[in-house]
Amino acid sequence: MVIPVHDVNPARRTPYVTYVLVAANVLVFLLTPGTVSVPGSSELAQLCHLQAFMDHYAAVPQELIHHQMPRAVPTGGVGVGPHGPGCVVAPPAYDKSPALSVFTAMFLHGGWLHLLGNMLFLMIFGNNVEDRMGHIRYFLFYVFCGYAAGYGFALLNAASADPLIGASGAIAGVLGAYLVLYPRARVWVLVPFLVFLPLRLPAWLVLGFWFGLQAVYSSGHGVSGAGTVAYAAHVVGFVVGMLLAWPLKPGTPPPPEPRRLVFGRQARPRQVW
């Protein structure tokens, strides 16, 4: 796995939408119950509160496919049952729109690593896609890819009652668009090989490798039961992003050619006679 850290592809305009999306994701994460320890509250109580919050605002495949709420959900309280203490479950005391939950789920994350990984990819690749599409079209594109990824995952996992959270489906759409628009842009990545080795690789190789991993993992190969990551949502979002960006490709100016590197330093330009 490679870790992108920077792309050699300057944008012409300030990516305000990308900045707002990053800020909104960080703010929602900080306000999510249970992500930050509360003094005087037990670990079980925080976990129950977090589960209740996620069931309320996350996208659940069963709800998306059948358009109905479950009969019982966590309430956020702690009780003692036949098997010991646990989270209290009761009929939902709120009305939830499954379609709207896909949007709110795009701003929820399960931990700092989940959040920071998504925001890193969004910051590196989102600015150029926003620059090419414009602010409003980029935001609509981002949301549409997130919805396509959410419903695509739900169709493939219709029986799942596990909450689906994260911005990675929408961000996968951004990566797919970047691959179509700027395949030859250079991306600085860190490759873990004994130490983190910095390399500058073409975007088609970095993003193509990332997509290949998601496709393999979504089939259940390489990870046990595909893990707890919605790899299928990444695949759907990426493909949708590529298809939506394809009409913009003919009018997209190529990225600037980076100067040669000699042992990690910029080489001086040579005159050719």
184 is a domain residue: yes
Residue 191 per-residue DSSP state: E
Query: pLDDT confidence of 259, banded at 50, 70, 90?
Result: low
CA angle 191, 197, 202 (to 5 degrees): 60
pTM of the prediction? 0.86
Residue at 240 is within a domain:
yes
- Identify the residue with better confidence: 34 or 206: 206
Q: What is the pLDDT of residues 87-114, one digit of tens each?
A: 777 777 778 888 999 999 999 998 899 9
The pLDDT of residue 188: 94
Helix (H, G, I), strand (E, B) or coil at 187: strand
For 196-209, write each residue's pLDDT tens digit: 889 999 999 999 99
- For residues 168 and 117, what is the distance between their CA atoms, to the nearest angstrom? 9
Tell me whether residue 237 is in a domain. yes
- Whose tokens are 């203490």? That residue is 85
Instruction: CATH number of the domain at 15, please.
Output: 1.20.1540.10
Q: Residue 21 sits in which domain range?
A: 3-33+96-257
Dist. CA 135–CA 24, nearest whole Å: 16
DSSP annotation of 243 reads: H
Asked, for residue 151, whether it belongs to a domain, the answer is yes
pLDDT at site 53 = 86
Closest listed residue to residue 235, CA positions, set 163, 176, 158:
176
How many separate domains does the chain show? 1
